[in-house]
Structure 1
Amino acid sequence: MTRSDVLIVGAGPTGLVLALWLTKLGVKVRIIDKTAEPGTTSRALAVQARTLELYRQLDLSDEVVARGHKTPAVNLWVRGARAARMPFEHVGADLTPYSFLLIFPQDQHERLLIERLEALGVMVERRTELLGFDDADGSVTARLRGPDGAEQACTATYVAGCDGARSRVRETIGAGFPGGTYRQLFYVADVEAAGPALDGEFHLDLDEADFLALFPLAGTGRARLIGTVRDDRADHPETLKFEDVSDRAIKHLKIDVRRVNWFSTYHVHHRVTERFRRGRAFLLGDAAHIHSPAGGQGMNTGIGDAINLAWKLAAVLGGRAQDDLLDSYEAERIGFARRLVATTDRVFSFATAEGRISDILRTRVAPLLIPAVIGLDAAREYLFRTVAQITLNYRGGPLSIGTAGHVHGGDRLPWVSVDGRDNFDPLTAMNWQVHVYGTPAPDLAAWCAAHDLPLHRFEWRPEHDAAGIARDALYLLRPDSYVALADPSGSVPALERYVAERMLRIGSAA
């Protein structure tokens, strides 16, 4: 019987990122997937700025950006004309090193993650299916069916369900999956085309009858189309071809489709599981939450789940934290998942609703309001922050304490670049660390040195104040780069209290 620290079920982006993070942190993983090979179609597309920031810890960001397509703006079309354009290039320039929407198809994304994982000596076990597991006596005993059809058993300290909407892990722990399914049938097509909308930007048609979104892909004239299938054709999705769907919105966007490389239909769901943890089992990604594609949030949220859980599992398995640290995974992620589902549901319902009033709102009211709103700097910044997931925070969570300046415990640390020095550079290390912008208190420097806790000092500059950072304050950063403790006094007692109350070892000499 084989044994690992963590059995990961599912080798999509969520499972692969979890495996990578854990392996880099010295955790022994086993990752299985019942499919014979990685995905070959470009399902999820968007890689948001916050994901790219976190990918710096895996030295992945530069390669993902190099392989992907930077999308500089979103365009809204009404009745065959471009009604509004929202650029990203400048609105996010002071917020993140990645002030754009990156398009990097999921199949290519998965292949890159698999390459990195194999370089670390971990192979995905294909055609291997989880049948069930028992959680008892301090470990998980799982029953697997291998490629030859024979059943086998394995043990692990924890099991992570990254196995999608029909999760066997979720089924085994008895977690409900409340929510619903949108009535509309949607199609997706990867095409080669020409026309004014094939300009490397994102385009959305707010039509009276059809919904259509165009995502640019790398390469001239390549795009992903996502649209609705109306009337009685939606009753027989298994027989539909691209030629069968309405071309009204396609004509509105003036798209001349030359070739269809892939076409499929699907229904969109909106669900959040009742729990993200039960005992030694955890749910992540689509196994925990599924929602509309509005805003390109799904894959990024699953990756965020993986990063949040990975450092906590590593800390507990390494004896640097108690098991109850793992309860903070659900506490921090389930609330965000519920808010995300509610938000994308509202956006998606507006964009796809049928009826006379909905048509008027989309085609007459929205074209007047949207340009006026996105003409405001504050509105553009808010929209970018939200879509890029850099507003995501864990304020009020069990690991989040204090406020210094405008930065709260649980916040993403504001990004500041001064004279070519980036305050996110130290965050590439997967460890606890302290940041001080200004002068650290003498006792703080001594305490950090005694506990082998990295202390990063940044010379105070006006840019730090503009970003909301407090001078000489203490910011304790978690291994996933979120602020754990923000203390304006910069004192050691606040740091000692934080560590003692949570029974954490945050330095190698602690």
Structure 2
Amino acid sequence: MKHTDVLIVGAGPTGLVLALWLQAQGVAVRIIDKASGPGTTSRAMLVHARTLELYRQMGMADAVAAAGHPSRVVNMWARGKRRAQIDVRDFGADITPYPYLLIFPQDQHEAYLCDQLAERGLTIERDTELLEAEDAGDYVTAVLRSPDGKVETCTSRFMVGADGAASTVRKGLGGSFRGGTYSALLYVADVEVAQDTFNGNVHLSFDESDFLLVFPYGAEGKMRLVGSVRSERVASSADLNFEDVGHESLHAMGITVTHLNWFSTYKSHHRMTDHFRRGNIFLAGDAAHIHSPAGGQGMNTGIGDAINLAWKLAAVVNGRGNDALLDSYHAERAAFAKTLIKTTDQAFNLASRKGSVFGFMRTYVVPNVAKLAFGLATARAAMFRAISQVAISYSNGPLGAGRAGTVSGGDRLPFVHLETGDNYGPLADITWQVHVYGQPADALRTWCADKDIPLHVFDWTAGCDAAGFARDAAYLLRPDTYIGCASPAGDVVPLQDYLKGLGL
């Protein structure tokens, strides 16, 4: 009988990232997938700034950014004319090292992650299916069927279901998956065009009955199209093709499709399970929550689940964490997923619902409001923070403690430019660390040395003040680069109490 620390079921982006982050923290991992290989087509196109910030921990961000296609401008069209434009270059650079939307199709993304696993000596067990699992209290017993049809039993300290919306793990737990299916039929098409005049920028087009997203990527005028199918076309044909969908928006933007690489239709769903954790078994990614395509949030949210969970599992496996730490996974990620489903649901309904009221809102109200709002730097920054996921905060969760300046425990570490580099450099170490912007107290230096916690001291600058830091305060960072505890006076007592409460 084989044994491992963590058995991961599912080798999509969520499972792959989880395996990488666990292995980097000294955890033995086994990852299985019932498919024979990674996906070859995809609907997920965007890798957001927060995901790239986290990829920087593993030295992966630059390679992903180089392989993808950064889009720094988002254009909004309505009734055949460009009505609004948001350019993140004038403010995003003060928010994140990655001030753009990165277009990187999921099939290419998965292939890259698989290569990263292979380079680190991890093998994905393909054509391997989970038949059943039982949580025995101290470990999980899983029955697997291998490619040759043989059945084996595997034990693990923990098991994670990252096996998609039809999750076998979730079904085995008896977990709910409440939500619904949107009425709109969507299509996704990979095309080549006669001339790409968009310079790699993203475009969103509305008319009274359709919407269309255009993602230019790659060389030679390649584009990914995501759009809605008009209701009369849905009723007239069960087997739609690209010629059946509306091309008015394409023509209005001057796009002439010369070649269709592939085309598919689908319906989008919004669902969420009731528990991300039951005992020693966890759910992550689409196995726990699925969303509308609005904002390109789904895949990035699954990756966020994986990194949030990885350091907590690693702490417990390595004997440095308690059950409250594991419980915090559901508390933090379920709260975000619930909010995300609500917001993307509202956005998607506005974009896709039929009827004159929704058509009027899409083609007249939204573009004009957007044009006014995008004229304000604060509105553009707020929009970018929300879409890029840098605004995610766990300050209301069980692991957020203290406040120093405008920065609270549970917040993402604010990004600050320095004379040489930036304050994100030390985050390459997946470990607890303390940041001080100014002068650390002597007691803090001693405490960090005694606890073997790295202390990083940065000169106080106007940028630190603008980012919301308090001078000379101590910020205890979690291994996933969120602030765990903020101590305004640099006092070690709050930090010590915080770690003790989590069994760390």
TM-score, normalisation: structure 1: 0.97
Deviates more, 1:195-204 or 1:333-342: 195-204
Equivalent position of 1:503 in the other structure: 503
Which amino acid in the other structure matches residue 490 of structure 1? G
Residues 471-492 of structure 1 show CA distances to partners (whole Å, capped at 9, x for unaligned) of 0001000000100001101012
Match of 2:16 in 1: 16
Cα displacement (A) at 1:252: 2.7
Q: 1:462 deviation in Å?
A: 1.4
Cα deviation for residue 237 of structure 1 reads: 7.1
Within 5 Å, give how 1:71-82 maps onto structure 2: 71-82=71-82
Q: Report the more deviating stretch, 47-56 or 350-359.
A: 350-359
How far 1:327 sits from its partner (Å)? 0.3
Aligned match of 1:267: 267
CA shift for structure 1 position 324: 2.6
Deviates more, 1:99-108 or 1:418-427: 418-427
Which is further off, 427-436 or 74-83?
74-83
Q: Say which SS state the counterpart of residue 476 (structure 1) adopts.
A: strand
- 1:51-74: per-residue Cα shift (whole Å, max 9, x none)? 000101110000000100010111
Give 1:77-476 correspondences, 5 Å limit. Answer: 77-194=77-194, 198-235=198-235, 239-476=239-476
> Using the alignment, how far apart are the partners of 1:466 and 1:247 within structure 2?
46
Change (3 A) 1:150 1:235: farther
Q: CA deviation at 1:403?
A: 0.3
Equivalent-residue separation in structure 1 for 2:184 and 2:384 (angstroms): 28
1:123-150 deviation digits (Å, cap 9, x = unpaired): 1000111111011141111111111122
- In the TM superposition, residue 112 of structure 1 has moved relative to its aligned partner by 1.0
- Aligned residue for 1:89, secondary structure, equals helix
Change (3 A) 1:280 1:237: farther
Whether the 8 Å contact between 2:137 and 2:279 is mirrored in structure 1 is: no
User: Aligned Cα RMSD in Å?
Assistant: 1.3
Secondary structure at the aligned position of 2:56 is classed as: helix
CA distance in 2, matches of 1:127, 1:258: 37
C-alpha contact (below 8 Å) 1:198/1:223 kept by paired residues: no
Q: Deviations over 1:194-230 (max 9, x none)?
A: 3576431111111112111111112131110011112
Structure 2 counterpart of 1:302, which letter?
G
1:91·1:384 contact (CA, 8 Å) conserved in 2? no
Note if contact 1:80-1:254 (Cα within 8 Å) is conserved in structure 2: no
Distance 2:302 2:411 in 1: 19
Q: Which moved more, 1:460-469 or 1:14-23?
A: 460-469
**1:413 is paired with a residue of what secondary structure?**
coil
Structure 2 counterpart of 1:253, which letter? M
Alpha-carbon distance between aligned partners in 1 of 2:318 and 2:121, rounded to the nearest angstrom = 20
Larger CA deviation: 345-354 vs 191-200: 191-200
Structure 1 runs not aligned, ≥5 long: 505-510
Aligned equivalents of 2:24, 2:237: Cα separation in 1: 43
Q: Whole-Å Cα distance in 1 between the matches of residues 366 and 396 of structure 2?
A: 35
Aligned partner letter, 2:43:
R
CA contact (8 A) 2:184 2:353 kept: no
- Could you report, residue by residue, the CA deviation over 1:447-487 in whole angstroms, capped at 9, with x for unpaired residues? 11112110111111111011100000010000001000011
- Judge conservation of contact 1:210–1:248 (CA < 8 Å) in 2: no
Q: Give the distance between the partners of 1:12 and 1:234, measured in 2 at CA.
A: 31
Q: In structure 2, the residue corresponding to 1:84 is in which secondary structure?
A: strand
State the distance in 1 between where 2:98 and 2:202 align: 17
Match of 2:485 in 1: 485
Question: What is the letter of the counterpart of residue 492 of structure 1?
Answer: V
SS of 2:126's partner is coil
SS of the counterpart of 2:282? strand
The CA distance in 2 between the partners of 1:423 and 1:175, in whole Å, is 41
Distance 1:406 1:324 in 2: 27
Task: Verify the 8 A CA contact 1:198 1:221 in the aligned structure 2.
Answer: no
Output the CA distance in 2 between the equivalents of 1:237 and 1:62.
Answer: 45
Residues 371-405 of structure 1: per-residue CA shift (max 9 Å, x gap): 11110111000000000101101012111100000
For these two proteins, the number of residue pairs brought into alignment is 504
2:12 is the alignment partner of 1:26: no
Displacement, 1:441? 0.6
Contact 2:135 2:279 in 1 (8 A): yes
Residues 66-101 of structure 1, C-alpha deviation per residue, up to 9 Å, x if partnerless? Answer: 100010111111111111111111221101110000
Q: What is the deviation of 1:249?
A: 2.7
Q: What is the SS of the residue equivalent to 1:153?
A: strand
User: In terms of mean alpha carbon deviation, does 433-442 or 354-363 score higher?
Assistant: 354-363
Distance in 1 of aligned mates of 2:138 and 2:235: 49
For 2:63 and 2:395, the matched residues in 1 are separated by 32
Preserved contact between residue 196 and residue 221 of structure 2 (Cα < 8 Å): no
| 438-447 or 148-157, larger mean C-alpha shift | 148-157
TM-score, structure 2 as length reference: 0.98
C-alpha separation between the residues in 1 aligned to 2:472 and 2:289? Answer: 40
Q: Distance in 2 between matches of 1:428 and 1:398?
A: 25
Deviates more, 1:68-77 or 1:226-235: 226-235
> Structure 2: where are the runs of 5+ without partners?
none
Is residue 2:49 matched to residue 1:49? Answer: yes
AA paired with 1:111? A
Query: Are the aligned partners of 1:131 and 1:145 in contact in 2 as well (CA < 8 Å)?
Result: yes
1:507 is aligned to none
In structure 2, C-alpha distance between the alignment counterparts of 1:449 and 1:116, rounded to whole Å? 34
Confirm or deny: 8 A CA contact 1:196 1:254 kept in the other structure: no
Post-superposition offset of 1:363: 1.3
